[in-house]
Structure 1
Amino acid sequence: MKRYVSGAVIALFLLAGCGITYVNPEVGLRNTTANVEVVEITTRTVQIANSAPYTPMSLPQVFYAATGGGSTSGNVGLPAQPFVPNEQRQSANLRLPPPVDPGPYEIGVGDMVLLATKAASSTVEELSGLLAAQNQRQGYTVRDDGTISIPDVGSVQLGGLTLEEAEAEVFQALVEAGFNPAFSLEVAEFNSKRVVVGGAVAQTALVPITLTRLDLGEAVAAAGGVTVPDEEFALIRIYRDGTLYQIPYEEYLSNPDLRNTTLLAGDAVYVDTTYDLDRALQFYEQQIDVISLRQEAQAAALDQLQTEISLRRAALNEQRDNFLARTELGAEARDYVYLAGEVETQSRFPLPYGRQATLADVLYETGGFEVETGNPREIYVLRPSSGGDTVVAWRLNASNAINLVLATQFEMRPNDIVFIESQPITVWNRAVSQALPNLISIARVTENN
């Protein structure tokens, strides 16, 4: 005889649950020994929650270090490629060297200095050698090591000194040697710093740089002036530290400021035309070898710098990789926030280094919450109070999407628990899904009996 299970029996079974129905976790005062205080998240309470002190952990200093640095000397390039002659003449543009301040004259190797002393008899007797040199107009040439040799006094270092600094050195040397330090010092011949002028000038000249600055007009005048058949296409070229500058001759004549261009030791001035540079090329050939040597030295310095930077970068990367490996293995301390309830994945969220994380960061970095099963009215952040005797449940009602703005303002703290309750229908569905297989089994047993 078959028996059928009535709807009342099924309902009774569901209500009783036989101890197997779904138990839904929720935030409340039941089934807990902790004191729970539920606080709604509002614009005012967000400020209270964020007042809890917390300083985010910082990355090791190695993540802020850079591998750059260092510099190379001898930044020299070859002269600009000269104009290639063609059937038509072409005028050139003005390219001035940058303004420079040569500073006070510094005595160099090859300069001759003249030391003059008092002509008193006592001085003659004590410094007969010095006076004899003066009377014969014989000075002292600065030697390769930058010194001059004064009889009965010795060597005095003058190379690289201004005239004022050199006078102080000579004064000190005379005093230490026991001589009357009444003297005057002047540079009689300027041989250490010169500018060469060549090309379409009256005569090639080596123009010395003296105590006063040397300008372009003086250098050209010292070479006898410019001699070109056609001033329209004449150029005054200045070759300095591997760079070729040029001044059209007509502009040079019409603009006094161009004639006042300051020249430096080692400059080469060449006058030519834009359509005939044969002599200019010959003039520069002797400079190219020197520039090539400088470039080789620069290349070696760059290789050395690149090697040093590569070693620094490798060391930094090794330290960074070691830190990341320790972090993955859990050997480095981290601050975490834990996610539970109806979230995409029940997991823990590491708080970032160097900045604050918000509730929105935690929710949406991990995929957000389950919109089908999660209750947007019941989003909680569970946080123990400072004394540890109370758990504050900060509740966010996100049924109105406007309140999600509060989630972007609510700052997280280590060991916070983000919990989202289930929808009421979700609780019922899960209870039914657990009970239904048992009901079917019971119904079949009853029917068979």
Structure 2
Amino acid sequence: MNFPIEILRWRLVAAATAFLSLLLGGCATGLQFNSQDSQGKAEPPPPTEMITEQLIAAEKQASGRPAEQDLSRLMVPNPPPYAIGRGDILSIVVWDHPELAGGGMTAATAAADASGMSASVNANAPQPGFVVDHLGRIQFPFAGLLPVEGLTEEAARALLTQKLARYIANPNITLRVQSYRSKRVYIDGEVKQPGLQAINDIPMTLVEALNRAGGLLPTADQSRIAVERGDARYRVNLRDLVQKGINPGNIMLAPGDVVRVHSRDESKVFVSGEVVTPRALTMHDGRLTLNEALGETGGISPLSGDARQIYVVRKTPERTRVFQLDARLAGSLAMAESFELRPKDVVYVAASPLANWNRQLSLLFPGALTNAVGVTNRQ
């Protein structure tokens, strides 16, 4: 008979259950940190901050301050006209005096250039015209060395007219920039045509630079556009600007600026633990709420998840912060929708005490619960 053997199995399962209950009685089922400093000493775990309406309001206020300060330095509502710089090539025509064209620049050449025919000329090939030298000057017949750096086309034309008026009665002069080579910006990242963009008579705003680069790619993150100017670095969030009613066309680029459009893949949030489908999520133009992150992963697992223990782990330059949400409380879903995640955040849903007990029992006594269920079925 197998009856005594079955009784023995039941007693073993009961003893194992009692032993495991004592073992797990003092164990925490939530998120635990075991960290050490450089000397090998155990460091205290970071404090857990409960997600409340007050905490959400404080986080929004803290995250909104730096962007406003940076953007105020980039805004130029009324950009000045283009100023001639070193390396630019000027097209100068003195009407009725073709002998003053110089450098192969004739009235016919100027007319053809005005019609747009010179657009196909290779930029590296020598072009007719008057090149502004390294000292910001051009050399013109009768006028000699003429300083034009920093002048607009109108101001340079008036200066040249004043010089030639000593030799020519009522000179009629056409002066304009034929080739813009003194000022450039660099566009990099998630755009169709990255590279150098020359600043011309059209104001080089951020929107203009992105359009000249072919526009943003579908993988571009509109909330993470970096403008590097010298040692300063500014972060531009196009989405927030539009929502606040600020025209992005007022962001004026300066010569030498570097614009980098970051990819959405760089702004991921990781969801793990007791959810239906743990995975990495891509933020939507820099925005992803805790509620959206849980929804896109299928929600909390109904079999093993603990709705009381939803954690968000965030690494900051100062310290590691741990936020906790108790989804059983009234208004928790509204707070989860208002709590905005940041890139590289880790969302973790802890297992319920029953799920932890089942897993520990399976590790210590493999097949014990299965044998117990089999005995019950045979009875």
Same fold, judged at TM 0.5 (above): no
Q: Between Structure 1 and Structure 2, whose CA radius of gyration is higher?
A: 1
TM-score under structure 1 normalisation?
0.36
- Higher relative contact order by CA 8 Å / sep ≥ 6: 1 or 2? 1
